Amino acid sequence: MKFISQFGVILALSFLGEVLHRWIPLPVPASIYGIVLLFLGLHFHWISAARIRDAARFLIEILPLLFLPAAVGLMDSWETVRVDWAAYAVIIAVSTFLVFGVSGVVTERLMKRDKEGGEDA
Amino acid sequence: MLEDSLFFPMALSLLAWTAGAALHRRFRTALCSPLLIAVLLTMAVLWGLDVPYESYYRGAQPLHWLLTPATICLALPLWENAARLRRHWKAVLAGIAAGMAAALTGIWAMSHACGLSYGAYATLLPKSITAAIGMDVSAGLGGDVSLTAAAIILTGILGNMFAELWSRLFHLRDPVARGVAIGSSAHAIGTAKAAEMGETEGAASSLAMVVTGLFTVAAVPFFAGLFIGG
C-alpha cells in the first residue's frame, strides 16, 4: 500500500505539471514544471521526502528503460535523413562531445579554484 | 497478431532491455550500453517481423507514460544534494552557461561548414535539450520536428553511452562537474545514466538539464537569426 500512496503523490504532481503546461503559453513540458513543483514542495516541507522516497527511487532506477519506446522511433527517421545522414551524424556526435567537455571542464576548474580560494582565505 | 497484440511490445521492450543489461554486465564497455543494445534489438525484431513502429509504440505506451512521473522524481536527489550544489553555484552555473554557448555556436559553425540549409540548422539547434522542449523550439523556428526528436534522442543515447568514458577523458574528478557535463550535453537520457553513477551526479545533471532547457528556449531565437545563407 505504501507504494500506491507514494505513486499517487507523484502522479498528482505530474497532473499539476500538466495543468501548468496547458495554462502557461511557454514551451515548457509538464515534467519540468513537475521537477520545480516537487523541489519546492520538499524545500518548504509541504511534502516530506519519506512520503515519496521508495517510489521515486524505483522510478529513477528504471528511467533509462522508459526512453526505449521513443528511441526505437529513430527507425522511422531513416527515410528523412538518408541524403544528409553523414553531416547530421558528425554534427550530433561532435557537438555532444564538445558540450560535455566544455561544461564539465569549466565546472571542474572553477570548483577547484573555489576550494583553493576557500582554504587560502 | 503481433501488430495488435496487447503484450508483445512490452514483453519485447523489457526482454530487450534485460539482454542489453546482461551484455553490459558481461563486457562493461561504452558500446554495450543497455539502452543502445535494447534499441537496436527492438528495432531488429520489429523490422524482422515486419511490425510497424506505430503499433509497437501503441503497445509500449505504458513505458512512455511513466516518463513524466519518473523525470519529476529527479527533484528528490536534486533537493537532497542542494546544499552541495549551492556551495558551488558559481561554478555550476558557469559550466552550464559555457555548455550552452558551446552547443549553440558549435551547431552554428558546423552547419555552415557542412553547407546545411536553414531548415537543417533549425532542426539541430535545440538538440541538446530535453525532447519536449526541443521539439517545440524546433517547430517555432521552422525545423523538422520529427528529425529534431531523432537528433535529441541520438544525442541522449551518446551521452548515456559515453558519460563514464568522457568523464575520464576530460579528467572530471568531481561528481558535480560530471553531472553538469552530462545534463548540459545529454538532457534526460544522459541524466538517467548520471543517476546510476551516483546521487550527486544525478542531482547536478538534473539541474543542468532543467537550466539548459529553459535558457535554450530564450537563446535559440537569437541564434536562429545568425544563420548566413538560405
Q: What is the pLDDT of residues B91-129, one digit of tens each?
A: 999 999 999 999 999 999 999 998 889 988 999 998 888
CA gap B13, B56 in Å, rounded: 9
Residue of chain A whose alpha carbon sits nearest to that of B78:
A39
- Angle formed by the axes of helices B175-197 and A85-120, nearest 10°: 120
Instruction: Tell me the nearest-neighbour CA distance from A6 into chain B, angstroms.
Output: 11
CA-nearest of A3, A88, A53, A120 to B79 is: A53
Angle between helices B145-169 and B175-197 (to 10 degrees): 110
B187 in A contact zone (CB under 8 Å): no
Candidates A100, A105, A110, A113, partner chain B, best to mutate (most B CBs within 10 A): A100
B74 within 8 A of B213, measured Cβ to Cβ: no
Rounded to whole angstroms, how far apart are CA atoms A100 and B88?
Answer: 18
Among B14, B35, B95, beta carbon nearest to A103: B95
Domain range summary for chain B, segments of one domain joined by +: 2-65, 75-224
User: Percent helix, strand, coil in chain B (nearest 5)?
Assistant: 80, 0, 20
Name the burial class of residue B118, with classes exposed (0-12), middle (13-18) and buried (19+) by CB atoms within 10 angstroms of its CB.
Answer: middle
Under a CB-based contact definition with an 8 Å cutoff, are residues B178 and B152 in contact?
no
How does pLDDT run along chain B (230 residues), one tens digit per residue?
A: 888 888 999 999 999 999 999 998 898 887 888 889 999 999 999 999 999 999 999 999 999 999 899 999 999 999 999 999 999 999 999 999 999 999 999 999 999 998 889 988 999 998 888 887 888 888 888 888 888 888 999 999 999 999 999 999 999 999 999 999 999 999 999 999 999 999 999 999 999 999 998 888 888 888 888 898 75
Residues in chain A closer than 8 A to B105 (CB atoms) = none
Chain B: give the shortest CA distance to residue A106, in Å. Answer: 5
ipTM: 0.91
Inter-chain CB proximity B90 and A114 less than 8 Å: yes
Q: Within an 8 Å CB–CB cutoff, is residue B221 touching chain A? A: no
Q: How many angstroms separate the CA atoms of B172 and B167, rounded?
A: 5
* A103–B102 CB contact, under 8 Å: yes
B31 touches chain A (CB under 8 A): no
Cα(B138)–Cα(B67) distance, integer angstroms: 21
Burial class (CB in 10 A: 0-12, 13-18, 19+), A80: middle
Note whether A104 contacts B95, CB cutoff 8 Å.
yes
**Residue B126: its H or E element:** none
Q: How far is B38 from chain A (nearest CA, A)?
A: 7
How far from the centroid of its chain's Cα atoms is residue A121's Cα? Answer: 36
Cβ of A99 and B99 within 8 Å? yes
